[in-house]
Structure 1
Amino acid sequence: MNQNDQIVRILLVGDSGVGKTSMIYSLVFEEFHESVPAKIHEISIPGEITPANIPTVIVDYSAQTQTEIELIDEIKKASVICVVYSVEDDATIQKISTYWLPNIRKALGENHHVPVILVGNKSDAVECSSIDSVLHFLHQYKEIEISAECSAKTFDNLIEIFYYAQKSVLHPLTPIYYQEENTISDQCMVALKRIFKICDQDNDGILNDLELNNFQVYSFGSYLLSQTFDDIKYILKSMIPDGVSENGITFSGFIKLLTFFIQRGHHELIWIILRKFGYNNHLGLDDQYLNPDIKIPEDCFIELSSRGYSFLSDTFKKFDKDNDGALSPNELNELFSCCDAPPKWSSECDYRYCVHTNEKSWLSLQGFLSIWTILYQRFNVMFYFYFILSRIDSLQSYFSYTVIKDNRLDLHEKQTPRNVFLCHLIGPKGCGKSSFMRRFLHHNIKINNNNNHPQQHQLNQKNQSFKNSNHDDNEPKNIMAINYNDFVVNKITIYAEDKYLIIKEIDILVSNQTLKQAELFCDVCCLMYDQSNNSSFAIIASVFNKYFQDSKLPILLVASKKDLPIVRQQFPIQPEEFCVLNKLTPLHKFSSISFENQSSREALEVYEKLVTMAAYPSLNKLVHLLLSKPVSSWMAKNLQFLPHENTYFRVGIGVATLAIISVFILRFFRPN
């Protein structure tokens, strides 16, 4: 429970005559009454007059006036339960384990999280403590926070009982500490390890003075003096020699320090720390952190901002301890070691088939940034990661919002400010789509027809893994379904700006295949056919005529396997003419086979075209116009109506302008 979440509801249960009602009377009226009713009505105490400053309701239960059903109902509503017994009556002590605790578990379940306090009343009537008589219950029932004695008659320890009841709700001891073993609980140890890693900004396994002060300020809102740090280190070193190093406090010293606070009864300090770093009473990350309520306007698209990419780059470099430009499996595990549930892709190496990796299939920085562009809509995954290294800044600052229209592209705009684009790669089976996607990730690898070449073998292995894992059924999947073998993503730089292109493959098994709405929802579409197969083009031509002929979506036709002999397609219109008639960007010919004289720039050309078409949708018609009409005749036709006296001047300006635009556009859209 967080301090502002709810009212603390304290329920007192126990046998008749143990003094439950007397305890409440003495607390509220500050005087002892020899004769009290069997049950008192609920007592509401305003927060401002309680030690913990929390509104509190005290509930009295009486078996004389209430049924067992009512008991169960009250137990379910309670924030904390005080089981009261009489220190001078052994029978009431026995009833703790034979009746009260079993009934509490019956109502709440064996593994409930409602704290229980054993209260021995009438301590003024005996000389010896009864704590030893109930101590074994604490080991048997983990929900019991403490056992304490008080006297409603002399007020001895009475206020402290109710204060501790509040405290056990706000700062429960049981989840964070094993009392019988005098050690921090396993769950709490995991949480504190994560917090230590967050604060260890230089990742050296030690909290130096600056990191300790940042931790102190963030957790408690105050600085510590240099002398205080020295005192803490001195005390720690006397308790645990390896808890302090020359540069600061080690993890073992950090744990020893927090254990010391718990053992001195100040475990609320640990809860202040835990809650600051997003933990709830059950030591799980709070839902408001894992599933933030970020309002995204309708028709809006959310992307990582430049600050978000910087954060990810810094994180990558922090855990790339050998500085080889890639995260090994061990380094990646270390990065996510303090997450309660690391993302699936990090543990199963699914990323190897969808983003850029090095020759060892380790995640490169480029691949690391790419995979997070896919995850930007899955806030819970991002938050697992975000909390590893960042804690103070708002996560929203790492995202930027980009408005998109209903049809995903606004052709009235000169360009889109977005940086992430989705391309659907559509074509018949066997036309080379998987190779096209693999080449997108490994455009620098020189590949020839020698399958024994090690890099060729690696790429073939990845292609086969991709094919085996892709398209288990014909049901299209959203790219966010997180099957990391369904798509590839990589960075492309156009006009000195980094853009990310996600390519998702869609198989066309028959020419009349029906595409679902999700398969038509993209920023740019790449229709691919095999130029060496005479029946291949007819399939994508049919798809275009059925779905894209009247669409404003940018379309690029790609003839794959250009290294193989070209054959005439069994379709009335051949591909080049088809592009002209439908005012499409000229046909691009592609081969996944690299040649010795082919530069990485040439290997990237088709992907640059796709990104440019998505980022600058308004240029697509101009591209077709420039590449399909002779400039001289087109200029003559459109300038014949100019006034005679201005013709030469305007023609000169027009030709110069058109030449500049042509060079600008042809750089990306020239025919092969």
Structure 2
Amino acid sequence: MVGTKADLTEESTLDTAVEAMNKYIEVETCVECSARTMKNISEMFYYAQKAVLHPTAPLFDASTKELTSVCKAAIERIFTICDADNDGILSDFELNNFQKKCFNAPLVAESLQDVKDVVRKYCTNGVVNNGLSLEGFLTLHLLFIQRGRHETTWTVLRKFGYDDSLQLTKDYLYPRLHVEPGCTTELTHLGYQFLQTLFEKHDKDKDGCLSPTELQQLFSTCPFLPWGDDVLSTVQTNKQNWITNTGYLAQWTLTTYLDKERALEYLAYLGYLFEHDTQRTAICVTREKSIDRVKKQTNRNVFLCHVIGPKGVGKTHFLQGLLGRSMASLKSKNTFPSSSYTINPVKVYATEKYLLMREIDAEITELLNPGDLECDVACLVYDASNPESFKFCATTYDKHFKGSNIPLLMVACKAEQTHVKQSYGVTPEEFCKANGLAPPQFYSAVDTNPTNLYTSLAIMAAHPHSPLASSEVSMGWMKIAAGLALAIGVIFGLYRYNKVRLSQP
């Protein structure tokens, strides 16, 4: 608000202007000026520019003389991200990191002490154990604003992604990441490193799991939790149904694979950009699968397995078996799995990969959707105790998978029950042999650790071009690995023997 022609009066009108400022929060500043004498002309333009670049209203409530609720929430998020050891205090080291992030310069020891002295003066609990508490951090920014240094607080807020409305910008949350058809998205080493550090920061009791309270605190910088209760049936949990470290990383792997936008968004919420320029360094786009098939090798670390079958054949228990859960352990928790996905790391020879399994309900009369066929390996599941069950597998294979380049495995669930003859023209074994498939594999939900079956699926997904070496899928791949190891050992032994013999006089 500008009062002009100040040269024509000796009395100030600023008292009236202040009343208007108190009544209308949109009014940032009042200035009296004169174009003839040039009084306060430069100040007028300075305050006009400041009102646009560093507005007061989003930060400060003039009626209560306090920070606005949205400003407090933003500063609390920034404090949590900067509090690397999660002790509720910003140490000198953490304050220095904050200063370098926001202002590209460290704080010298005297300046640090001056900051803490000022906070002590205005806030009793602002400095704790020679570090800045959250209350002190909020007080510091309130003092900046009260003293007209809005630009300091705005510089901090904008470094952490906030716009003039104190909302995180779309560019901050969703950097462009193009994914060609046939490619997938996975976490990079930097992504896993950040998420692991975050886990360790919030696992206060160091038990390798996140309790509901710890999980809530981990996501306190986010507007809402990214995972629902179905996460507990998707990944590994402990006996108390708390997410383990392995399950936590697996869930992030699943999120990145299925919904890269959400992964990018939550990496921003959680503070990935405090140490990195963009979330794109946390996520990589894999090579097209068609190129992998031509080159007969892949660098991918996540493989999708579709488990297809009618309701009631045992698909859900089969998926839960990937997490080491038997039927008895599921009954003890008195909950039925609510997720159509499970994911867990498995060994593919000496390398750890993620096997992601998706359950797909289908009936014999139904055609599968195109999306149901987009996977790295498929499982057609039937009930070994139901004579009508295998017909689904045979029909689905003939309709959708015959002649395709997707490796496929038949799995007979409920193997602990009495096996019955399938009322199909040929036996499952004969059908698989006629179509060049591995023999059906038997799965029992009573078995708590059928790891060989899941390892075999991962190997088939990682090496779709490699033929199976024996009638038993898991044993076949184990024999290949053992044979290669034996051959290498023999060659190395002969080399050492000849070397020693030639070196003798």
Same fold (TM over 0.5): yes
Residue 493 (1) aligns with residue 347 (2)? yes
Deviations 1:536-562 (A, max 9, x none): 001110000111111110101001111
Contact 1:492 1:498 in 2 (8 A): yes
Per the alignment, do residues 344 and 198 of structure 1 end up closer, same or farther by CA in structure 2, a change over 3 Å counting? closer
The corresponding residue for 2:319 is: 437
Q: Give the whole-Å Cα distance in 1 for the aligned partners of 2:4 and 2:64.
A: 28
Deviations 1:349-398 (A, max 9, x none): 33112222222222211111111112214334433334424313132222
Per the alignment, do residues 593 and 555 of structure 1 end up closer, same or farther by CA in structure 2, a change over 3 Å counting? same
Per the alignment, do residues 154 and 554 of structure 1 end up closer, same or farther by CA in structure 2, a change over 3 Å counting? same
Give identity over the alignment, percent. Answer: 39
Q: Give the whole-Å Cα distance in 2 for the aligned partners of 1:626 and 1:490.
A: 23
Name the aligned partner's letter for residue 351 of structure 1.
V
Residue 537 (1) aligns with residue 421 (2)? no
Name the aligned partner's letter for residue 231 of structure 1.
D
The corresponding residue for 1:128 is: 11
Name the aligned partner's letter for residue 88 of structure 2.
G
Contact 2:302 2:356 in 1 (8 A): yes
Q: Give the whole-Å Cα distance in 2 for the aligned partners of 1:610 and 1:626.
A: 12
Matches within 5 A, 1:70-469: 118-297=1-180, 299-339=182-222, 341-345=223-227, 348-376=228-256, 377-390=259-272, 391-394=274-277, 395-406=279-290, 410-443=292-325, 455-458=329-332, 461-463=335-337, 466=338
Q: What displacement does 1:498 show?
A: 2.0
Q: Give the whole-Å Cα distance in 2 for the aligned partners of 1:123 and 1:233.
A: 42
Contact 2:349 2:481 in 1 (8 A): no
Contact 2:90 2:133 in 1 (8 A): yes
Per the alignment, do residues 360 and 139 of structure 1 end up closer, same or farther by CA in structure 2, a change over 3 Å counting? farther
Per the alignment, do residues 624 and 553 of structure 1 end up closer, same or farther by CA in structure 2, a change over 3 Å counting? farther
TM-score normalised by length of structure 2: 0.89
Q: Give the whole-Å Cα distance in 1 for the aligned partners of 2:33 and 2:301.
A: 67
Name the aligned partner's letter for residue 454 of structure 2.
Y
Q: Give the whole-Å Cα distance in 2 for the aligned partners of 1:424 and 1:662.
A: 32
Q: What displacement does 1:460 show?
A: 5.3
Which of 419, 432, 441 is matched with 1:579 structurally?
Answer: 432
Contact 1:529 1:536 in 2 (8 A): yes
Q: Give the whole-Å Cα distance in 2 for the aligned partners of 1:528 and 1:299.
A: 26
The corresponding residue for 1:547 is: 400
Residue 528 of structure 1 aligns to a residue whose secondary structure is strand
Residue 233 of structure 1 aligns to a residue whose secondary structure is helix
Q: What displacement does 1:657 show?
A: 9.1
Q: Give the whole-Å Cα distance in 2 for the aligned partners of 1:122 and 1:572.
A: 102
Root-mean-square deviation (Å): 2.5
Residue 660 (1) aligns with residue 472 (2)? no
Deviations 1:145-167 (A, max 9, x none): 22222222322112111111111
Q: Give the whole-Å Cα distance in 2 for the aligned partners of 1:179 and 1:590.
A: 68
Per the alignment, do residues 622 and 359 of structure 1 end up closer, same or farther by CA in structure 2, a change over 3 Å counting? closer
Name the aligned partner's letter for residue 335 of structure 2.
Q
Q: What displacement does 1:251 show?
A: 1.2
Contact 2:174 2:264 in 1 (8 A): no
Name the aligned partner's letter for residue 8 of structure 2.
A
Per the alignment, do residues 137 and 441 of structure 1 end up closer, same or farther by CA in structure 2, a change over 3 Å counting? farther
Q: What displacement does 1:413 show?
A: 3.3
Q: What displacement does 1:441 show?
A: 2.1
Bigger CA drift: 520-529 or 303-312? Answer: 303-312
Which of 335, 355, 361 is matched with 1:507 structurally?
Answer: 361
Query: Which of 1 and 2 has greater Rg?
Result: 1
Per the alignment, do residues 121 and 458 of structure 1 end up closer, same or farther by CA in structure 2, a change over 3 Å counting? farther
Q: What displacement does 1:583 show?
A: 0.9
Q: What displacement does 1:129 show?
A: 2.7
Contact 1:198 1:387 in 2 (8 A): no
Name the aligned partner's letter for residue 611 of structure 1.
A
The corresponding residue for 1:623 is: 469
Name the aligned partner's letter for residue 309 of structure 2.
G
Q: Give the whole-Å Cα distance in 1 for the aligned partners of 2:390 and 2:342.
A: 24
Per the alignment, do residues 320 and 544 of structure 1 end up closer, same or farther by CA in structure 2, a change over 3 Å counting? same
The corresponding residue for 1:604 is: 451
Runs of 4+ in 1 over 4 A off after TM superposition: 624-627, 656-659, 661-664
Residue 176 of structure 2 aligns to a residue whose secondary structure is coil
Residue 564 of structure 1 aligns to a residue whose secondary structure is coil
Per the alignment, do residues 380 and 555 of structure 1 end up closer, same or farther by CA in structure 2, a change over 3 Å counting? closer
Bigger CA drift: 313-322 or 124-133? Answer: 124-133
Q: How many correspondences in the alignment?
A: 479
The corresponding residue for 1:72 is: none
Q: Give the whole-Å Cα distance in 1 for the aligned partners of 2:178 and 2:412.
A: 43
The corresponding residue for 2:493 is: none
5+ unaligned residues in a row in structure 2: which ranges?
A: 488-505
Contact 1:583 1:624 in 2 (8 A): no
Per the alignment, do residues 440 and 657 of structure 1 end up closer, same or farther by CA in structure 2, a change over 3 Å counting? closer
Contact 1:244 1:253 in 2 (8 A): yes
Q: Give the whole-Å Cα distance in 1 for the aligned partners of 2:391 and 2:183.
A: 37
Residue 506 of structure 1 aligns to a residue whose secondary structure is strand
Contact 2:5 2:33 in 1 (8 A): yes
Q: What displacement does 1:210 show?
A: 0.9
Q: Give the whole-Å Cα distance in 2 for the aligned partners of 1:309 and 1:615.
A: 21
Deviations 1:36-72 (A, max 9, x none): xxxxxxxxxxxxxxxxxxxxxxxxxxxxxxxxxxxxx
